[in-house]
Structure formats: structure tokens, C-alpha cells
Amino acid sequence: MVDVSEKTPSDREAHARARVRLPVEAAALISDDDIQTKKGPVFATAIIAGVMAAKKTHELIPFCHPLGLDNCKVSIEMDGTDAVIDCRCKVHHKTGVEMEALTGASIAALTVYDMLKAVSQDIVIAETKLIAKSGGKQDFRRDE
């Protein structure tokens, strides 16, 4: 791990996004902003999985510091037939939360895939990327 013992804690935030391309037959199942399958509500389950994953990032990614997140929000919106997953994490700590946000978005995307694979396996997790981060040495904002 990187030694952060000399760093001063500060407010840090990160926003990551994953995009899941759904086939038309899966996207057509959306009603009331979610998809209901035999396993349950797809987006609601993916949101819970994303938050759980963000909180356990240090257990999944070697050398990540364990962080007690102050806040983590996962949201999912449709853009055509794409499910766009946003994960926003906040912490007051000595190290940033980019990996937590990226992990949350990634696991939420994998959960969407898992819950819809019985409908179609023509699902593509197209991209996962950091949108923005603040706090620490330098801020970052992706031009979209």
C-alpha cells in the first residue's frame, strides 16, 4: 500500500459511469423505470450491489486502503437501449475514492448482466470510466 500516514484528511469525491448495451428484447421489458425478472427488480438489485461493492473495494482490489464511505449513490437511467450506471462516492480521508466509484459502477453493470442473461446473452458492458474526482493532489473532470 501507499503510505498515507503523513497526508491530511480532506473531502474527496469521485463519480464513475458504466454503460450496459441491452438488446431490444431486454430494453423492451422496462416499465416503471425498472425491469422485473424471475430474479427480481434488475435495477434496484444492481443499485444495492453497486453500493455493497463500493464499500468492499479494499477487499477486492489489492493495495486499496479501506475507506469508511461517507456517502455512496448508484443510479441507473436508460439512454435508448443502454443502461447508464452512475456511482458517486464521498469520503473525508487521506486517500481518494476513485476505485470505490469505479468498483460500484462495474459491479452494478455486472449485476444487470447477470439478472438479464436469461432474457438474452447479447448484452455488452461497453465502458466503465471515471467522470470526475475532487480532493487530494489534483481534481479531474472528463470532457464528455
- Annotated catalytic sites, by residue? 114
**C-alpha to C-alpha distance for 61 and 8, rounded to whole angstroms:** 23
Note whether 46 and 74 are within 8 A (CB): yes
C-alpha cell at 135: 480532493
**C-alpha to C-alpha distance for 87 and 85, rounded to whole angstroms:** 7
**φ and ψ of 129, to 5 deg:** -150, 155
**C-alpha to C-alpha distance for 88 and 101, rounded to whole angstroms:** 6
**C-alpha to C-alpha distance for 120 and 37, rounded to whole angstroms:** 12
Burial of 31 (0-12, 13-18, 19+ CB in 10 A): exposed
